[in-house]
Structure 1
Amino acid sequence: MVYFTICIPTRNRQRYCIEAIKAIAASDETDLEVIVADNSDDATILADFFRTELDDSRFRLLPPADTVLSMVDNWERIIPETKGRWISIIGDDDHIDPSVLQLIRRYEREQPDLEAFAWARMNYNWPDNRVISTLAAVPVGHSTHIPDRKILHNELYRWSKREKRPAGGFGIYHGAVRRSLMERIKRKFSDRYFEHPTVDFDNICKVVKEAKSMIFCQRPFSVLGACAASNSASAQSFEAMRKLVVDFYNELGNGQQIQEDDFPFSPKLPGLAIISSIAATTWWFCRKYGVDNSGFQENFAHSAVQECLVSRTVEEYQIKVEGFRRGFDAFEDGAWSSHFNPPEVFTPSNAQNVLCGVHRNYMYIRESGLEKVITPADFYRFAEAFLMPVRHLVSAREVFAA
């Protein structure tokens, strides 16, 4: 058994996926494997790349199935193919530093029952995804924390922080989960590793509930890349968001649905795809598996206001407010409508995605000035210049902060 498996599910974004593969292949870590699950319409592009350009036994390619798989089903087929003690999944337009496995080894020695490890992530827009002014974000901390489980449950299941969305964090997507936990999740939750179409938060909900021990490191080890064809690209354009939502719904498997009938906040509502899909996943999980999420409804109403307040234009603000109003009027007979109180007058911030610098332990960098930085891996290497070196974290005798 290898120690660490990196999984890359991909669909019709082969050129980005190839860049992700090349960046990982440059690592000299040996106790590592990479599984690429191709769900593309054209199977030849990645197959040819593996055959003619990638001479690396650490990598394996899962070819497309006979029919196009939903995202959740493509993720589902990966796990049985993995051999690692620890497993991580990234997007095909992302990057991960394989040296993170060295830190996982250190933490596992100190916490033998460790089953979930999370780290901070950088955010970067590919050059083809800068329709508006954009900033890359780099967390600049390096401390290690053991989360308070009660607080974590409140933030995830009850949305107690009342922010745009719960931080979550502890999951297999841009995090690492021990194989033992993934197998236990499958046994306990519907005999599947992944169940809900919002697959990353499906896993977060289950990992947070089931993990014996969890650790978070403030030092980033991966980059959430956003190319023009990515889900996150929709944040820059209503039109792009509509198209991605339509495509996502079209590719849902038989019998799969994103929101329950008693949760009338559809991701199809203009501008609300991300917050609605995450909230719907939280609601579904707590209802299906009997997790106490008392307070969620009121907290979600306040979170909805925060989502509206990050609108870039007055028109976008009005569209979001109207969508939420319709949802809250229908949600539990309007019981929570009075808690959704967005300001009547809204003035967009002129500084949004313009000002750069350090704010709340993040460094924000104007991406228009990154002329020689193209891929998320390029950006990670650029950002490493002002991050704590991995070797210092691995060798440290640091006391965990509760």
Structure 2
Amino acid sequence: MIQLSICLPTRNRQTYCIETIRALANSDRTDFEVLVGDNSDDGSILADFFETELKDQRFRLVGPEDKVLPMVDNWERLAALAKGRWISVIGDDDYIDPKLVLLLKYYERLYPEVEAVAWSRMNFNWPDNRPQPALSTIPVCHDTVIAVKSRLQDHLYRWTERKRVPSGGFGAYHGAVRRSLMERIKRKYGGRYFEHPVVDFESVCKVIREAKMLVHCQRPFSVLGAGAASNSAGTQSHKTLVERILTFKKETEGKVDMDDPVFPFPISDPGAGLCASIASTTSWFCRTYDIDTSGFGENFAHAAMDELRYARTEADYDVKRAYFERGFEALDGGKWRHLFEPAPFHGNTSLNELSGVLHDMLYLREASVPATTPADFYKFAEHAILPIEIVASGARAFAR
């Protein structure tokens, strides 16, 4: 029986995707499958790889269609074809451990109503995406936490933590969602698993509203990779960011508009960052499905100020600040504008220079890490974290 379907959507990043496929194929487990959704301009590269090198029955290639699909539609077709009891989506330059199946089985035995599982993630920049010193991260804890749905909904729908990114990443992206929940979501939300261009956080919106039980494991099971061609790499170059935003906007035409006409913080604006993208997505979701957002305006003003603390340069700070000022002038008739008073730019000179353990996270200078891919980094990091077999056993004491 297939326990886990790993969905791997990709577009014009075949080099990264092939490395990710090879890494997953090294697993000796037979209870998972990998669906590769190729949305590239040239479908022959992955097709030839599957034909001449891979030849692994656990992998299925879903080739390009007659025209380029919006990313949300590429995700949609993979979820529809998945056969696993659980579904997870990762990027083509990421990595996920197929041994995750052990944890899912363990949680199902322990919590029969569990429908969504999240875990901590490692972060790794591919060697071609290090224009400046960077740190890789390894979460070093392993406890299990039962999430409180109402608290997660407050964090995301109403932004009560007032941070640039709300906590609680339960969704299909670098998480696992039970197929029964995916089908329930499809029936309830317009006959689709996914609707919004910012598909990862739209998934979180739906999962934390509908799941019967959500369980988080502090041990990491996947790596968020970032190669030079990835969307996240655009955050390190203003020029690259603008180019990729324009391309992304063009390829999502005809679906839900990524620039919400009601929420005055357009995602395609160069000043937008992760904070605004999440806020725009959740605003669309809550308005579309009549969800209470009391307190959002005030809380989001504080989150926007938190976002500015992470500006890399003074020029970046100025662009972001002007962006948020325009948005708050328009939001609810300027009701929250007076609350947006960020501190002056102060720089982050030591941000990527310090390594060590801080708040249950191990930070490592990437230049000194013996890894060239997220899979390599995961194997390296396993020396610093508890083995999955022990985590999934439920043991509370460990012998040397």
Confirm or deny a common fold (TM above 0.5): yes
* Alignment of 1:364 onto 2:363: yes
| Aligned equivalents of 2:331, 2:394: Cα separation in 1 | 50
In structure 1, the residue matched to 2:185 is 185
Instruction: Call closer, same or farther: CA 1:145–1:255 in 2, change over 3 Å.
Output: closer
* Alignment of 1:294 onto 2:304: no
| Aligned equivalents of 1:102, 1:207: Cα separation in 2 | 22
User: Does structure 1 conserve the Cα–Cα contact (< 8 Å) formed by 2:260 and 2:266?
Assistant: no
Instruction: Call closer, same or farther: CA 1:105–1:251 in 2, change over 3 Å.
Output: same
* Alignment of 1:203 onto 2:203: yes
Is the partner of 1:230 in helix, strand or coil? coil
Is the partner of 2:128 in helix, strand or coil? coil
Deviation at 1:309, TM superposition (A): 1.2
Moved more, 208-217 or 162-171: 162-171
In structure 2, the residue matched to 1:100 is 100
In structure 2, the residue matched to 1:321 is 321
In structure 2, the residue matched to 1:51 is 51
| Aligned equivalents of 1:32, 1:349: Cα separation in 2 | 42
| Aligned equivalents of 1:28, 1:261: Cα separation in 2 | 49
| Aligned equivalents of 1:267, 1:258: Cα separation in 2 | 6
User: Does structure 1 conserve the Cα–Cα contact (< 8 Å) formed by 2:258 and 2:268?
Assistant: no
* Alignment of 1:390 onto 2:388: yes
Deviation at 1:3, TM superposition (A): 1.1
| Aligned equivalents of 2:270, 2:362: Cα separation in 1 | 30
What letter corresponds to residue 317 of structure 1 in structure 2? Answer: Y
Moved more, 295-304 or 252-261: 252-261
Deviation readout 1:16-63 (Å, 9 max, x if unpaired): 000110111000111111100000000000000000000211000001
Moved more, 284-293 or 211-220: 284-293
In structure 2, the residue matched to 1:381 is 379
| Aligned equivalents of 1:218, 1:7: Cα separation in 2 | 22
What letter corresponds to residue 348 of structure 1 in structure 2? Answer: G
Deviation at 1:263, TM superposition (A): 0.8
In structure 2, the residue matched to 1:28 is 28
User: Does structure 2 conserve the Cα–Cα contact (< 8 Å) formed by 1:245 and 1:273?
Assistant: no
Deviation readout 1:78-111 (Å, 9 max, x if unpaired): 1121110101010000000000111100100111
Q: How does 1:209-358 map to 2 (within 5 A)?
A: 209-343=209-343, 345-358=344-357
In structure 2, the residue matched to 1:128 is 128
What letter corresponds to residue 352 of structure 2 in structure 1? Answer: N
Deviation readout 1:290-327 (Å, 9 max, x if unpaired): 11121111111101001111112222111111111011
Is the partner of 2:338 in helix, strand or coil? helix
Deviation at 1:262, TM superposition (A): 2.0
| Aligned equivalents of 2:22, 2:253: Cα separation in 1 | 31
Is the partner of 1:310 in helix, strand or coil? coil
What letter corresponds to residue 385 of structure 2 in structure 1? Answer: L
What letter corresponds to residue 145 of structure 2 in structure 1? Answer: H
| Aligned equivalents of 2:259, 2:269: Cα separation in 1 | 12
Deviation readout 1:347-385 (Å, 9 max, x if unpaired): 102101111111111111111112x31000000001000
| Aligned equivalents of 2:394, 2:99: Cα separation in 1 | 15
Deviation readout 1:237-271 (Å, 9 max, x if unpaired): 21121111111101014143013222110122224
Is the partner of 2:54 in helix, strand or coil? coil
- Percent sequence identity is 53
Moved more, 271-280 or 142-151: 271-280
User: Does structure 1 conserve the Cα–Cα contact (< 8 Å) formed by 2:3 and 2:84?
Assistant: yes
Deviation readout 1:174-204 (Å, 9 max, x if unpaired): 0000000000000000110100110001110
Q: TM-score, normalised by structure 1?
A: 0.97
User: Does structure 1 conserve the Cα–Cα contact (< 8 Å) formed by 2:195 and 2:256?
Assistant: no
| Root mean square deviation of aligned Cα | 1.2
What letter corresponds to residue 215 of structure 2 in structure 1? Answer: I
User: Does structure 2 conserve the Cα–Cα contact (< 8 Å) formed by 1:126 and 1:227?
Assistant: yes
| Aligned equivalents of 2:190, 2:20: Cα separation in 1 | 32
| Aligned equivalents of 1:208, 1:49: Cα separation in 2 | 38
User: Does structure 2 conserve the Cα–Cα contact (< 8 Å) formed by 1:116 and 1:176?
Assistant: yes
| Aligned equivalents of 1:271, 1:234: Cα separation in 2 | 12
Q: Which runs of 5+ in 2 are unaligned?
A: none
Instruction: Call closer, same or farther: CA 1:327–1:248 in 2, change over 3 Å.
Output: same
Is the partner of 2:371 in helix, strand or coil? coil
Moved more, 257-266 or 29-38: 257-266
Moved more, 142-151 or 88-97: 142-151
Is the partner of 2:264 in helix, strand or coil? coil
Deviation readout 1:144-168 (Å, 9 max, x if unpaired): 0001222111111111111111123
| Aligned equivalents of 2:71, 2:261: Cα separation in 1 | 22
| Aligned equivalents of 2:212, 2:380: Cα separation in 1 | 36
Aligned residues: 397
| Aligned equivalents of 1:398, 1:286: Cα separation in 2 | 41
| Aligned equivalents of 1:357, 1:272: Cα separation in 2 | 31
| Aligned equivalents of 2:210, 2:94: Cα separation in 1 | 27
User: Does structure 2 conserve the Cα–Cα contact (< 8 Å) formed by 1:266 and 1:273?
Assistant: no
Deviation at 1:398, TM superposition (A): 5.5
User: Does structure 2 conserve the Cα–Cα contact (< 8 Å) formed by 1:139 and 1:363?
Assistant: yes
| Aligned equivalents of 1:17, 1:59: Cα separation in 2 | 13
Deviation at 1:274, TM superposition (A): 2.3
| Aligned equivalents of 2:211, 2:183: Cα separation in 1 | 12
In structure 1, the residue matched to 2:41 is 41
User: Does structure 1 conserve the Cα–Cα contact (< 8 Å) formed by 2:114 and 2:212?
Assistant: yes
Q: Which runs of 5+ in 1 are unaligned?
A: none
Regions of 4+ moved over 3 Å: none
User: Does structure 1 conserve the Cα–Cα contact (< 8 Å) formed by 2:147 and 2:213?
Assistant: no
Is the partner of 2:207 in helix, strand or coil? helix
